[in-house]
């Protein structure tokens, strides 16, 4: 146990610093969050509820849920596969592969949308071919799903890779020795060890999938009631000066963010991972 | 590699990973570069050298750098307090830090605009000081600070947590006052993390779109950022210009990603 006096500040300095930090977090983060709810309820509950019951809003919610329901499971599958490949085996180009998985984080969401427009729009690389088979990707659901998959691609893998690397492969090797088969090893040995990290990754992936704006905005075409996801619907309402309705729909997304943060904190608390123990 | 692979699933997991990565990420990005490269150098220079692109680039890079710097400055005391002190509401504050990660950017955009608009909570107050918040470059800077802030805190936090107090005790034993210890011992140790956090925030800010386009006002030459310029070129069916601007931005982003990787190695090395 160290003498407390020499490695901390005086009481006054501590109070001042805590006050400063509180002010920064309050002004920069808490105020915008509160503003969403205050603006949403500015014209009362009726307007608020009516905005959520609006047909365009409901179809936007449905589209957002659909896009997430396809992209999140696929990216989860990818994340598990990628983490398995790069943590259980050593091979040439492994470090490069790990960096490439992070690539979408470095790409502006707008560019993520643009690349798919270049590929699938009528004048794009596959445009002619898609037209022949009467398939529509851009300004339609498939484009929205693909763009969402692009931007949420790294989340699960990125959460699992450090976790599985730290855990090593001893348990899996023991299971092989005992005669376990491939999927058995994964389901019985690996999965229980990574379940919290996996849940955390899926959660972040889902939050981003439902909230994605830039990439989806480029490929969606903003067709009301058809290709507007919830964030795009918020944008349309806001640009039409229907502020209360825009903020009402925004509360759904803000609640999604709060739930995500709440579960994240709970997982951290529960597993003790990143738990700030003093000693 | 002579060691036999004991664990099954190498071919399946690696094959699936490579296919998925190539189809979804690598081939589409390569298609963008091919499209842009097909135009030739002269066209590149003409497009990138246009006054509108240069103005957007100046704003994007300038506001991103200022915002990342402010995030670093604000992140330092917040991280310090979160790691070193115990006080009521600390867990809540810690959880709140990730809000910009979790809050959809469009929501952040419309809220920040409302707060910093001339008649908004903070905007009205800024206006009295002669500063226009929303619909100006200041608005872009505010939105990007919001977006970049958690990157700094979440990079500094583990470094400060791992920082052994023995060094501080040693400094104190040798007669250094608290402030001198912090300035000469603690702060230098945090510089690599601070630079990494700054770079992460900067890289994210460059590509940011949703939170900026509402607050910026989007006037060409004045408050237009590069991602918005890409979108507006695309909407005017000027696909080559969009592809060239996007490719140039990607090159910058990849270089930043590379330097972030190197910085991360510096941090890991510092830890061990």
Residue B203: its chain A contacts at CB < 8 A? 106
Q: What is the pLDDT of residues A149-179, one digit of tens each?
A: 999 999 999 999 999 999 988 899 999 989 8
Is A63 a member of any domain? yes
A242 and A180 co-located in one domain: yes
A17 and A83 co-located in one domain: no
Say what the pLDDT of residue B212 is.
Answer: 96
Is A207 a member of any domain? yes
Q: What is the pLDDT of residues B190-248, one digit of tens each?
A: 999 999 999 999 999 999 999 999 999 888 999 999 999 999 999 999 999 999 999 99
Say what the pLDDT of residue A274 is.
Answer: 58
Taking all residues of chain B, what is their mean pLDDT, rounded to a whole number? 92
Residue A245 sits at the chain B interface (C-beta within 8 Å):
no
A91 and A28 co-located in one domain: no
Inform me whether the pLDDT recorded for A276 exceeds 50: no
CB contact at 8 A, B1 and A83:
no
Alpha helices in B118-238 (DSSP H): 123-128, 137-162, 165-173, 178-181, 187-207, 210-216, 226-235
A36 and A5 co-located in one domain: yes
Rounded-to-integer distance, Cα A149 and Cα A154, Å? 9
Q: What's the CATH code of the domain at A54? A: 1.10.3720.10
Residue ranges of domains in chain B, CATH in brackets: 40-271 (1.10.3720.10)
A139 and A32 co-located in one domain: no
Instruction: Please count the other Cβ atoms lying within 10 Å of the Cβ belonging to residue A62.
Output: 12
Mean pLDDT, rounded, for A83-100: 93
Say what the pLDDT of residue A277 is.
Answer: 30
Which range of residues forms the domain containing residue A239? 44-271
Q: How far is B95 from chain A (nearest CA, A)?
A: 6
Percent of chain B surpassing pLDDT 70: 98
The CA–CA distances, whole Å, from B205 to B40, B178, B211, B230 equal 29, 36, 10, 16
Is A238 a member of any domain? yes
Residue A242: its chain B contacts at CB < 8 A? none
Is A276 a member of any domain? no
Rounded-to-integer distance, Cα A177 and Cα A180, Å? 7
Q: What is the pLDDT of residues B12-64, one digit of tens each?
A: 999 999 999 999 999 999 999 999 998 888 999 999 999 999 999 999 999 99
Is A278 a member of any domain? no
A116 and A219 co-located in one domain: yes
Token digits for B99? 């809000």
Question: A136 by DSSP, 3-state: which?
Answer: coil
A31 and A129 co-located in one domain: no
Question: Which chain B residue shows the shortest CA-CA distance from A26?
Answer: B93
How would you class B161 by CB atoms within 10 Å of its CB: exposed for 0-12, middle for 13-18, buried for 19 or more?
A: middle
Q: Which of A25, A204, A29 is nearest to B79 (CA)?
A: A25
Dihedral of CA B81/B141/B230/B105: which sign? positive
Rounded-to-integer distance, Cα A253 and Cα A234, Å? 10
Cβ distance A261 to B102 less than 8 Å, yes or no, reads yes
A183 and A143 co-located in one domain: yes
A80 and A197 co-located in one domain: yes
The domain total for chain A is 2
Whats the size of chain B, residue-wise? 272
Q: Angle between the B105-116 and A191-211 helix axes, to the nearest 10 degrees?
A: 50
Secondary structure, 3-state, A231-277: HHHHHHHHHCCCHHHHHHHHHHHHHHHHHHHHHHHHHHHHHCCCCCC
Inform me whether the pLDDT recorded for B180 exceeds 90: no
ipTM of the complex: 0.91
A107 and A156 co-located in one domain: yes
Rounded-to-integer distance, Cα A5 and Cα B161, Å? 19
A275 confidence band (pLDDT: 50, 70, 90): very low
Q: What is the pLDDT of residues A173-198, one digit of tens each?
A: 999 989 888 888 999 999 999 999 99
Q: How far is B49 from chain A (nearest CA, A)?
A: 20
pTM over 0.80? The answer is: yes
Token look-up 């590509």 returns B207
Taking all residues of chain A, what is their mean pLDDT, rounded to a whole number? 91
Q: Which of A41, A69, A58, A93 is nearest to A244 (CA)?
A: A41
Percent of chain B surpassing pLDDT 90: 76
Alpha helices in chain A (DSSP H): 11-25, 31-40, 44-53, 55-88, 94-101, 103-106, 109-120, 127-132, 141-152, 155-167, 170-177, 182-184, 191-211, 214-220, 230-239, 243-271
Q: In chain A, positions 17-56, which contact chain B (CB-CB < 8 Å)?
A: 17-18, 20-22, 24-25, 27-33, 35-36, 39
A68 and A184 co-located in one domain: yes
Cβ distance B106 to A78 less than 8 Å, yes or no, reads no
Is A175 a member of any domain? yes
Is A209 a member of any domain? yes
Is A55 a member of any domain? yes
Q: What is the pLDDT of residues B122-158, one digit of tens each?
A: 999 999 999 999 999 999 999 999 999 999 999 999 9
Rounded-to-integer distance, Cα A57 and Cα B146, Å? 27
Q: How far is B48 from chain A (nearest CA, A)?
A: 16
A50 and A28 co-located in one domain: no
How would you class A50 by CB atoms within 10 Å of its CB: exposed for 0-12, middle for 13-18, buried for 19 or more?
A: middle
Residue A10 sits at the chain B interface (C-beta within 8 Å):
yes
Dihedral of CA B38/B41/B45/B48: which sign? positive
Say what the pLDDT of residue B172 is.
Answer: 82
């Amino acid at each position: 146990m160290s003498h407390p006096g020499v490695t901390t500040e005086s009481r006054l300095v501590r109070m001042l610093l805590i006050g400063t930090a509180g002010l920064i977090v309050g002004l920069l983060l808490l105020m915008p969050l509160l503003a969403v709810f205050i603006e949403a309820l500015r014209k009362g509950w009726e307007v608020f509820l009516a905005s959520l019951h609006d047909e365009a809003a409901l179809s936007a919610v449905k589209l957002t849920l659909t896009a997430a329901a396809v992209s999140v499971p696929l990216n989860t599958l990818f994340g598990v596969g990628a983490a398995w490949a790069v943590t259980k085996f050593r091979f040439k180009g492994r470090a490069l592969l790990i960096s490439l998985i992070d690539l979408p984080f470095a790409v502006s969401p707008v560019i993520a949308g643009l690349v798919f427009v270049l590929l699938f729009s009528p004048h794009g690389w596959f445009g002619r071919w898609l037209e022949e088979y009467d398939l529509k990707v851009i300004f339609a659901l498939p484009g929205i799903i693909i763009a969402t998959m692009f931007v949420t691609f790294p989340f699960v893998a990125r959460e699992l890779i450090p976790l599985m690397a730290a855990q090593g492969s001893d348990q899996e090797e023991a299971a092989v020795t005992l005669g376990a088969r491939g999927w058995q090893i994964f389901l019985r040995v690996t999965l229980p060890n990574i379940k919290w990290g996996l849940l955390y990754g899926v959660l972040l992936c889902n939050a981003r999938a439902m909230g994605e704006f830039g990439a989806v905005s480029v490929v969606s075409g903003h067709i009301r009631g058809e290709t507007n996801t919830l964030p795009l619907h918020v944008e349309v309402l806001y640009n039409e000066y229907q502020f209360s309705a825009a903020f009402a729909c925004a509360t759904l997304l803000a609640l999604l963010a709060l739930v995500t943060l709440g579960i994240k904190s709970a997982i951290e608390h529960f597993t003790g991972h990143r738990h700030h123990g003093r000693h | 590699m002579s060691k036999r692979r004991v664990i099954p699933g190498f071919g399946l997991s690696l094959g699936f990973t490579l296919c998925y990565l190539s189809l979804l990420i690598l081939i589409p990005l390569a298609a963008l570069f091919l499209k842009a490269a097909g135009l030739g150098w002269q066209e590149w220079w003409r497009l990138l050298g246009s006054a509108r692109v240069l103005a957007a680039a100046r704003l994007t890079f300038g506001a991103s750098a200022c915002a990342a710097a402010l995030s670093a400055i604000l992140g330092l005391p917040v991280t310090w307090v979160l790691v070193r002190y115990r006080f009521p509401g600390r867990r809540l504050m810690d959880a709140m830090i990730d809000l910009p990660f979790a809050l959809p950017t469009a929501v952040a955009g419309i809220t920040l605009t409302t707060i910093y608009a001339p008649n908004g909570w903070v905007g009205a107050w800024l206006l009295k000081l002669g500063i226009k918040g929303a619909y100006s470059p200041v608005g872009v800077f505010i939105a990007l600070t919001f977006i970049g802030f958690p990157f700094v805190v979440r990079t500094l936090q583990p470094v400060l947590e791992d920082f052994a107090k023995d060094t501080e005790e040693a400094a104190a034993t040798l007669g250094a006052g608290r402030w001198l210890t912090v300035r000469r011992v603690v702060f230098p140790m945090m510089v690599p993390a601070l630079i990494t956090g700054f770079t992460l925030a900067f890289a994210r800010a460059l590509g940011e779109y949703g939170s900026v386009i509402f607050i910026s006002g989007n006037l060409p030459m004045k408050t237009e950022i590069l991602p918005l310029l890409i979108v507006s070129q695309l909407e005017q069916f000027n696909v080559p210009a969009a592809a060239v601007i996007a490719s140039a931005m990607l090159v910058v982003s990849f270089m930043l990603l590379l330097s972030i990787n190197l910085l991360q190695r510096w941090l890991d090395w510092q830890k061990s």
